[in-house]
Amino acid sequence: MLDVEAKTLLEVDNVCQSYSTGSDSPGSLVLDHVSLRLEQNEIVGLLGRSGCGKSSLLRIVAGLARPTAGEVAYRGVKVVGPLNNIAMVFQSFALFPWLSVLENVELGLKARKVSAAESRKRALAAIDLIGLDGFESAYPKELSGGMRQRVGFARALVVQPDILLMDEPFSALDVLTAETLRTDLLDLWVEGRMPIKSILMVTHNIEEAVLMCDRIIILSSNPGRIAAEIKVGLPHPGNRLDPAFRQLVDQIYATMTQRTETEKYRGKFPGMVLGWP
């Protein structure tokens, strides 16, 4: 029992979220009693249709938003605001356009009151690690999308978080760039060159999820509930041609579309609730 406690990094317990639109009514439910755990040394993927609340869940985990009900605990301590041990990579990169690559990466260290010399050293190391050597003094405007996202990674890695949250980190990139960046990140992870203990990532790409994750959580939409949880159990980095890989992708695809079908029927024929648990 104690062992399990020690291995659990993050626990999301019955989290609900609803946004009030305007001043009236509490608004519709976006997340409905979502519970999940993040253990050490695993990558967990969040899949689900657009608008099902993946980003909302990630924000809550990061302490950027407060759930309407339920709670999030990091190593047994309730999360009430942004934590130093949880870093986030944004889909839109979210780089500060007026700061150079180096300054962007250093920002989090400065906020943690790391000395100037030390933060310079660590930032340069992170930039080097992520393969942006030579671009330290460039501004985000001058970089390509793939390079910007690398800065986003470096900025998150340099603060040496326990948990890395990623919100569709590759979806703004073209297929090839995404593939390269994904492989680079996986290499760092497998070789243990990052101090990160666990990654929670949102994606729309089933193959990407199977390729990278140890566990995949599928959210249903309206309201967002956990529809299925799938253990991947394939080695990293995975092989797309492996029959087991294809089979898993097909299975997840089927699960997601099936959910959609039932949701559709439920909506269309309110009287005909299918007798599924």
Partner 1 sequence: MALDYWQLPYYGLRTTMRMFAALAASLVFTLTYATLAAKSKRAEQILIPLLDVLQSVPILGFLSFTVTFFLGLFPGSTLGAECAAIFAIFTSQAWNMAFSFYQSLRTVPKDLEEVATGFGLSPWQRFWQLEAPFAMPGLVYNTMMSMSGGWFFVVASEAISVGDTTVKLPGIGSWLAVAIDHKDISAVIGAVGAMLVIILLYDQILFRPLVVFSQKFRVELSMSKFQEQSWVRDIFVRATGLRRVMSIPGKIIKAIGLLRLDWMGEQPSRAAWGGRKAAVAADIVWYVALAALVAWSFWQIGGFVSTALSWADLAETATLTIITMMRVVALIALATLFWVPISVWIGLRPALAEKAQPLAQFMAAFPANVVFPVAVIGILKWSLTPDIWLSFLIVFGTQWYIVFNVIAGASAFPNDLKEASENLGVKGWIWWKSVILPGIFPYYVTGALTASGGSWNAAIVAEYVKWGDDKVEAHGIGAYIAKATAAGDYPRIVLGVAVMSIFVIAFNRLFWRPLFGFAERRLRLM
Ligand X SMILES: Nc1ncnc2c1ncn2[C@@H]1O[C@H](COP(=O)(O)OP(=O)(O)OP(=O)(O)O)[C@@H](O)[C@H]1O
Query: What are the residues binding ligand X (CB under 6 A)?
Result: 19, 30, 48, 50-56
Pair of tokens at residue 80: 């009430």
Q: 98: which residues sit within 8 A by CB, 6+ positions away?
A: 139
Which DSSP category does 192 fall into?
A: T
Angle at 63 between CA 36 and CA 207, to 5 degrees: 50
Identify the CA nearest to 16 among candidates 65, 75, 50, 51.
65
Query: In the bound complex, what is the minimum distance in angstroms from residue 255's beta carbon to ligand X?
Result: 17
With CB cut-offs between 5 and 8 Å by kind, which of ligand X, Mg ion, partner 1, none does residue 30 bind?
ligand X
**Parallel, antiparallel, or unpaired: how do β-strands 8-18 and 69-74 relate?**
antiparallel
With CB cut-offs between 5 and 8 Å by kind, which of Mg ion, partner 1, ligand X, none does residue 139 bind?
partner 1
In whole angstroms, give the CA distance from residue 276 to residue 148.
46
Select the residue interacting with partner 1 from 57, 88, 101, 248 (CB under 8 A).
Answer: 88
Question: Which residues between 30 and 69 bind Mg ion (CB under 5 A)?
Answer: 55
Query: In the bound complex, what is the minimum distance in angstroms from residue 141's beta carbon to partner 1?
Result: 6
Stretch that binds partner 1, among 45-53, 93-101, 235-243, 257-265 (CB under 8 A): 93-101
In whole angstroms, give the CA distance from residue 176 to residue 165.
22
Measured CA to CA in angstroms, residue 114 lies from 4, 26, 178 at distances of 33, 43, 32
- Residue 65 phi, psi dihedral angles, 5° rounding: -135, 155
Nearest residue (CB) to partner 1, 157 versus 226: 157
With CB cut-offs between 5 and 8 Å by kind, which of partner 1, ligand X, Mg ion, none does residue 110 bind?
partner 1
Contact pattern from residue 18 through residue 57 relative to partner 1, giving x for each residue in contact according to CB under 8 A and a dash for the rest? ----------------------------------------
- Residue 238 phi, psi dihedral angles, 5° rounding: -75, 170
* Binding positions for Mg ion, rule: CB under 5 A: 55
* Binding positions for partner 1, rule: CB under 8 A: 59, 62, 64, 82, 84, 86-88, 90, 92-99, 103, 107-108, 110-112, 139-141, 155, 159
